[in-house]
Amino acid sequence: MRVSEVMTRDVRVANANETIQEAARIMAEIDAGLVPVGDNDRLVGMLTDRDIAIRAVAEGKGPDTKVGDIMTNDVRYCFEDEDTVDVCRNLGDQQIRRIPVLNRDKRLVGIVSLGDLAISDGSGRTGETLAAISRPGGQHTQTGGMH
């Protein structure tokens, strides 16, 4: 099965020049803890509720802090025509639960989550991925210095 068959296409995107308060409002509206950061339809970063808590609030930064100042710039992504089995494996390797989906022109076209993949997976691979994601450590810890 292809990622395009299971991904969410209606993705809200924050702008790097918006404030983290505005981005937090988007997260509240869509009931999600992460929002892609884009420049037009180009993906330039990702912002999570944890980024706001650790990289902004914990460091004494206020609600007017720009998204671009605390977002993750090193964004992992997949392509809409990739096989879901491969993406599931990559989520486990990278220890992430959601990943933006790009077309081959590298334009943002959706987002896919472990939950999306679980619904489409009858093989039990999603459980293996969750176990891999949940193992301690990994390069995507908030205190690892990634900005």
Tell me whether residue 37 is in a domain: yes
Residue 55 lies in a domain: yes
pTM of the model: 0.77
Least confident of 45-59, 74-88, 111-125: 111-125
Burial of 124 (0-12, 13-18, 19+ CB in 10 A): exposed
Q: For 15-138, list the strands marked E by DSSP.
A: 34-39, 42-48, 78-79, 98-102, 108-113
**Lowest mean pLDDT across 29-33, 68-72, 112-116:** 112-116
Torsion of CA 38, 94, 71, 83, to 10 degrees: 10
Q: d(Cα 134, Cα 34) in Å, to the nearest integer?
A: 18
Question: Is 143 inside a domain boundary?
Answer: no
Domain-located, residue 145: no
Q: Is 32 inside a domain boundary?
A: yes
**Is position 27 within any domain?**
yes
> What are the tens digits of pLDDT across the range 4-50?
999 999 899 999 999 999 999 999 999 989 999 998 878 999 999 99
Own/partner contacts of 97-102, CB < 8 Å, gap of 24 or more, are: 97/133, 98/34, 100/11, 100/36, 100/43, 100/46, 100/75, 101/3, 101/4, 101/7, 101/77, 102/43, 102/77, 102/78
Q: What is the pLDDT of residue 120?
A: 63
Whether residue 140 has pLDDT greater than 50: no
Find the distance separating the first CA and the last CA of the chain, reported in whole Å.
34
The mean pLDDT of 99-106, rounded to a whole number, is 94
Who has greater pLDDT, 11 or 122?
11
Number of domains in the chain: 1
Q: Residue 68: which H helix or E strand, with range?
A: helix 67-70
Model confidence at 136, in pLDDT bands (50, 70, 90)?
Answer: low
Query: Cα separations (Å) of 139 from 33, 40, 69, 94?
Result: 19, 28, 20, 8
Q: Is residue 131 part of a domain?
A: yes
> Domain range spanning residue 59?
3-136
- Counting residues of the chain whose pLDDT is more than 70, the rounded percentage is 80
Question: What is the predicted pLDDT for the residue at 142?
Answer: 43
142 occurs within a structural domain: no
| Nearest CA among 94, 105, 115 for reference residue 46 | 94
CATH number of the domain where residue 65 is located: 3.10.580.10
Mean of all residue pLDDT scores within the chain: 84
